[in-house]
Amino acid sequence: MRNTHPWPWCLVLLFAGCLPTPAPPAQQAPPAPVGNRPQTQETETVDAEVGVGKSSQNLGQFDSGVQKAVASPAQALVRTKEMAAFDLQVKPTLEAYRALHGNYPKTEKEFWDTIKGVKLPELPAGHKYVYDPKEGKLKVERPKSD
């Protein structure tokens, strides 16, 4: 008899993106200046938390009821993956580092070496992950919104 219950597949999908990967995330370079004009776009830095990823921002743009009904489970999955990365992997890793060394990583290189293997959500174009050693937090630098 064939098992047709959806729960095993839901669990596989839920945790598929939560497993650590051996390579650190690729840093996205800011766009190159156009012509000879210097790039003057202002940036802001925000905490890396649920909602900053490219997928979560793309899933929030639906108008009709049918689109929202289809997108809601996908939004929940994307948000769960982001929460797992930021709240269940990065934060505890930093707290463990602090418990062992008495402080958070002091440099960005030390930070990336510490969280090696954590798969961070992909960011939209022009956004990049940065580490703030003063606060001991992962942040996202992005173009300033008006």
Give the tens place of pLDDT for each residue, 107-139. Answer: 999 999 999 988 898 888 889 999 999 999 999
Give 90's contacts (C-beta < 8 A, 6+ positions apart): 48, 115, 118, 120, 138
Which one is predicted more confidently, 133 or 7? 133
What does pTM read for this prediction? Answer: 0.60
Give the bridge partners for 140, in sequence order.
46, 129
Residue 111 CB burial class (10 angstroms; 0-12, 13-18, ≥19): buried
Give the tens place of pLDDT for each residue, 55-105. Answer: 666 555 555 555 556 667 777 777 888 888 888 999 999 999 999 999 999
